[in-house]
Amino acid sequence: MVSAKKQFYIETYGCQMNEYDSLLASKILEKDATATQTVGDADVILLNTCAVRENAHQKIYNRLRELGHLHKRGAKIGILGCMAQNLREDLLYENLPVDFIMGPDALRNLTGLIDGTTPQDTQRSFLNLSRTETYDDIVPSFEHHMRGRDTKITAFVTIQRGCNNFCAFCVVPYTRGRERSRPAESVVNEVRSLVDSGVKSVVLLGQNVNSYHFEETRFVDLIEELLAKTTIERIYFTSPHPKDFPIELIKLMAHEPRFCNQVHMPLQAGADATLKRMKRNYTRSEFLTIVENFRSRVADVAISTDVIVGFPGESESDFEETLDVMAEADFDSAFMFAYSERKGTIAQRLYPDDVPDDVKKRRLATLIEKQLARSLINNERYIGRTVAVMAEQPSRRNTAEWVARLANGRKVIFHPHGMALATLAGNTVRITITGASSQVLHGTLSTD
């Protein structure tokens, strides 16, 4: 038997999907070990990694070198997640302190490594990609969800794994495999358990979340089940693909206040020629039609997006088309990046990275400047309005103030004069908006 004193430590890099996978890893490991928040106390150190974000590889390499002294003292170090899947054996043969690597679909093997039934000297790589693994029987508890988090009212719940789209710039189909969806009953049960522990808001996660399809249950059906079978107050989702926004989903958002009016819809580029090279499988016109469907049907909807500038072959006129689409869509916020080549992608194999770095930087700066101005204008429209917001937590910048959110995700900062702070989180309060920046709204408690 494993000693009760054996401890594990997990560091997570990347997206919310990685965060959720760390919850699954903790749940699996806790059968035979206990979690520690101090890396120096750990017998097993796990780095759950990302292969999408810029400089992710170098960040992990640097962290491994920092942990080298603990490895020499006997701690076992494992690399989990997308980087393990993408770089594969390279991680084991670069003179790094790594004992094993494990892909996102192989987390069940952690048990064998901890209890000794899988000797590390005989197997160091666990990289099988599954067409069926959804970990639906491993449900993180409220305590898992909230470990290390400031706000206790919002939880992220993975409903779908993998991706079938094979966008040219993306490694996800190669690191997380093909699409498969978690049973609806498992999702409903997890959300119901979270509600029982005080969670007010859930964000449904997937690599292509709105392509969810388990047996006869589609994404819109799952939302309807959550609305009918749980009392969760707010439902959000990320990250979707523009091809999966049927009108019935938009209509449901329009008529169900608990299915919140916030939409993240990645554009990536505004020129049809670039979208074609990216293998996005929609045109700018089709994308803008979806935006118009949301704007015309869903009251006060907030729409955010992702954009990449400097993709191989992008001309100056292509970039201008992206600026035009951004203006026409009138996005409320955006995550904007300069293209950076990723190992194993279609783009790396087929397209030379031919847009100079200084051009990428200029285009990105222009894109950011125009979007921040647009975000400011959209936020200023709320000044003078009284709105209902859900209080979340004290502000990190000023603990005398609190952070709250509208249903459409906009952040509001206010001073809770005289309110009972111990029970404020998760409550709905009315705020009169008095000011705005490109990032947040500011307001005071309403006297209405």
pLDDT along the chain (448 residues), means of 10: 72 90 94 92 93 74 93 93 80 84 93 72 80 93 83 93 94 92 97 96 95 97 98 96 94 98 98 98 97 98 98 98 98 96 92 97 98 98 98 93 97 92 93 98 91
Count of domains observed in the chain? 4
Helix axis angle, 247-255 relative to 219-229, nearest 10°?
Answer: 20
Same domain, 37 and 55: yes
Q: How far apart are CA 367 and CA 67, in angstroms?
A: 39
Same domain, 148 and 251: yes
Would you tell me how many other CB atoms lie within 10 Å of the CB of residue 135?
22
Same domain, 163 and 235: yes
- Region of 130 (left: φ > 0; alpha: ψ -120 to 50; beta: rest) is beta
Q: Among the three residues 126, 146, 180, which one is the final residue of a domain in this structure?
A: 126
CATH number for the domain harbouring residue 250: 3.30.750.210
Three-state secondary structure of the chain: CCCCCCEEEEEECCCHHHHHHHHHHHHHHCCCCEECCCHHHCCEEEEEECCCCCCHHHHHHHHHHHCHHHHHCCCEEEEEEHHHHHHHHHHHCCCCCCCEEECCCCHHHHHHHHHCCCCCCCCCEECCCCCCCCCCCCCCCHHHHHCCCCCCCEEEEECEECCCCCCCCCCHHHHCCCCEECCHHHHHHHHHHHHHCCCCEEEEECCCHHHCEECCEEHHHHHHHHHHHCCCCEEEEECCCHHHCCHHHHHHHHHCCCECCEEECCCECCCHHHHHHHCCCCCHHHHHHHHHHHHHHCCCCEEEEEEEECCCCCCHHHHHHHHHHHHHHCCCEEEEEECCCCCCCHHHHHCCCCCCHHHHHHHHHHHHHHHHHHHHHHHHCCCCCEEEEEEEEECCCCCCCEEEECCCCCEEEECCCCCCHHHCCCCEEEEEEEEECCCCEEEEECCC
Instruction: Specify whether the CB–CB gap between 238 and 16 falls below 8 A.
Output: yes
355 inside domain:
yes
Same domain, 367 and 404: no
Q: Compute φ and ψ for 411, nearest 5 degrees.
A: -85, 135
Same domain, 180 and 247: yes
Same domain, 119 and 134: no
Same domain, 219 and 98: no
Instruction: Specify whether the CB–CB gap between 406 and 389 falls below 8 A.
Output: yes
Among 246, 256, 210, 190, smallest CA distance to 407 is for 256
Three-state secondary structure of 37-102: CCHHHCCEEEEEECCCCCCHHHHHHHHHHHCHHHHHCCCEEEEEEHHHHHHHHHHHCCCCCCCEEE
Q: Compute φ and ψ for 172, nearest 5 degrees.
A: -55, -45
CATH number for the domain harbouring residue 419: 2.40.50.140
CATH number for the domain harbouring residue 326: 3.30.750.200
Specify the pTM.
Answer: 0.92
Q: Compute φ and ψ for 394, nearest 5 degrees.
A: -60, 145
**What tokens were used for 161?**
């794994």
Strands 411-414 and 441-445: parallel
437 inside domain:
yes
pLDDT at 96: 87
94 inside domain:
yes
284 inside domain:
no
409 inside domain:
yes
Same domain, 411 and 398: yes
pLDDT at 350: 96
Placement of tokens 């959804």 in the chain = 134
Cβ neighbours of residue 196 closer than 8 Å, sequence gap 6 or more: none
Q: Among the three residues 64, 97, 126, which one is the final residue of a domain in this structure?
A: 126
272 inside domain:
no
306 inside domain:
yes
pLDDT at 326: 98
Placement of tokens 């990302």 in the chain = 50
By the 10 Å C-beta count (0-12 exposed, 13-18 middle, 19+ buried), 382 is classed as buried
pLDDT at 413: 98
281 inside domain:
no
Same domain, 152 and 68: no
Q: Among the three residues 126, 159, 181, which one is the final residue of a domain in this structure?
A: 126
Same domain, 188 and 216: yes
Parent domain of 254: 130-260
pLDDT at 447: 79
Same domain, 361 and 330: yes
Q: How far apart are CA 93 and CA 183, in angstroms?
A: 39
Q: How far apart are the first and last CA of the chain?
A: 63
CATH number for the domain harbouring residue 66: 3.40.50.12160
Helix axis angle, 247-255 relative to 284-297, nearest 10°?
Answer: 30
Same domain, 121 and 152: no
